Amino acid sequence: MKTLYLDCLSGISGDMTVAALLDLGADFAALREGLYSLGVPDFEVFTEKIVKRGIAARRFEVRVAEHDHHPHRHLRHVLEIINRSTLPEQVKICSEIVFQNIARAEAKVHGMEVEKVHFHEVGAIDSIVDVVGAQFCLYQLGVDRVVVSPINTGTGTVRCAHGVMPVPAPATALLLCDVPVYGDGDGELTTPTGAALAVSWADSFGPLPRMTVESVGYGAGTRDLPDRANVLRALLGESADEPAGNVDTVAVLETLVDDLSGELTAPAVDAALAAGAVDAFLTPVTGKKGRPAFLLTALCPPELRDKVARSLFLNTTTLGVRVREEFRTVLWRKWETVFTPYGEVRVKTATLDGEQITAHPEFEDCRALAEAAGVPVRRVAEAALAAFQRGEE
């Protein structure tokens, strides 16, 4: 399986992505021919090797003829441009998906229908070229699987068509929902185009997967950063293993308590969950001086670690909490609602390699309905599972 790994230490943008794939070996002449088939006038594309903080990288640039006004295109206009080209059908379809993802994010930000969204910067010629160009290079390289590192969004503010916005910009933030991200470095490091490419391509997010690296490419950004090379690193190689699920980052918080009564330990776990922990549990241990104690562990998204740590301080007698970040692989999950004789019950399903392998009725739903009906919880859970298996959603 040919695997592409995108290392987003300095963020990701459309031009950086195209440049990194060209640096891996994508054919620039073929790319230029495909892009000119879009039929959009007044632009040229260029590439060259430059050095960013000691790293030889490739730069990709779209030069657009100067005009007083460039049209603000709607989604249908962008799709028409893509479809009238001579690009491979797979490139057209995948490029459309990227722009549809951007349009949905912009529509939600501005509170309007997707069809009415003006693309502003994203609809400009250079962004159309970046999206289509990146997709064409990916197609050229014959990539089967894409893994993306946690994405550095940058920090601070960015000026766009609607004024000064926080980083990540509103559309970028929406595109990166359910994706491991962090902010390190001043300014906007990840653009909406870069975010849309990453989430549209990624089979999983996380560390470098087990693979035999065959080539490494660097795509240069336009800015010079004070503390790092402003490059997107791309590694291409062969991988035998397929992703079992999505890889994300969690903060692991631990504290040992040996002077908290047993009746107060359960509320401490509940408080951690209420603060945003995705899991929390107690492990019996032997503490100092042979005292029986509990190790309270909570897992949460990194951005909630301070909130969860605060809950541990407020609900236990601890004076310190250890915190570290770890990667975890999680199955793809979703919620479905089924109807039973006792009422509605949510059922959590999980899939592996596209095949559903588990379906579990939500216990709290079952318990509430069981109490109302005066029946055992097990009866409600069995009814929910039977309804799910019959497809009565």
CATH class of 332-390: alpha beta
Listed residue (77, 101, 222, 201) closest to 151, CA to CA:
201
Spans of all domains in the chain: 2-243, 247-329, 332-390
Distance of CA 109 to the CA centre of its chain: 18
User: Token pair 């909570």 is at which residue?
Assistant: 298
Q: Return d(Cα 102, Cα 193) in angstroms, integer.
A: 8
State the burial class of residue 359 (Cβ atoms within 10 Å of its Cβ: 0-12, 13-18, 19+).
middle
Let me know the angle formed at the C-alpha of 76 by 72 and 82, rounded to the nearest 5 degrees.
95
pLDDT averaged over every residue in the chain: 88
Is 68 a residue whose pLDDT tops 70? no
Listed residue (69, 21, 80) closest to 42, CA to CA:
69
Residue predicted with more confidence, 34 or 119 = 34
Residue predicted with more confidence, 258 or 28 = 28
End-to-end Cα separation, the chain, in angstroms: 37
Model confidence over 124-148: pLDDT tens digits? 788 889 999 999 999 999 998 899 9
Model confidence over 74-119: pLDDT tens digits? 888 888 899 899 999 889 988 988 988 888 888 888 788 877 776 6
Model confidence over 37-54: pLDDT tens digits? 998 877 899 999 999 999
Q: Return d(Cα 252, Cα 267) in angstroms, integer.
A: 19
CB distance 48 to 189 below 8 Å: no
How crowded is residue 305: how many other Cβ atoms within 10 Å of its Cβ?
Answer: 23
The CATH superfamily holding the domain 247-329 is Transcriptional regulatory protein pf0864 domain like (3.30.70.1380)
Is 342 a residue whose pLDDT tops 80? yes
Least confident range of 6-20, 110-124, 227-241 = 110-124
Q: Return d(Cα 216, Cα 331) in angstroms, integer.
A: 29
- Give percent of the chain with pLDDT exceeding 90: 52
Angle between helices 125-141 and 75-83 (to 10 degrees): 50
Q: Could you tell me the CA-to-CA distances from 222 to 219, 265, 267 in Å, in that order?
A: 10, 53, 52
Give pLDDT, residue 265.
87
Give pLDDT, residue 366.
93
Is 70 a residue whose pLDDT tops 70? no
The answer, as to whether pTM is greater than 0.85, is no
Listed residue (119, 127, 143, 115) closest to 2, CA to CA:
143
Give pLDDT, residue 389.
85
Q: Which residues contact 263 (CB under 8 A, 6 or more apart)?
A: none
Q: Which residues contact 283 (CB under 8 A, 6 or more apart)?
A: 294, 295, 297
Give pLDDT, residue 121.
47
- Structure tokens belonging to residue 246: 């999505």
Give pLDDT, residue 280.
94
CB distance 221 to 13 below 8 Å: yes
Using pLDDT thresholds of 50, 70 and 90, give the confidence band for residue 393: very low
Give pLDDT, residue 244.
57
Is 59 a residue whose pLDDT tops 90? yes
Using pLDDT thresholds of 50, 70 and 90, give the confidence band for residue 69: low
Give pLDDT, residue 193.
93
Give pLDDT, residue 272.
93
Q: Return d(Cα 219, Cα 206) in angstroms, integer.
A: 20
Q: Return d(Cα 65, Cα 68) in angstroms, integer.
A: 10
In the chain, count H helices and then E strands.
11, 20
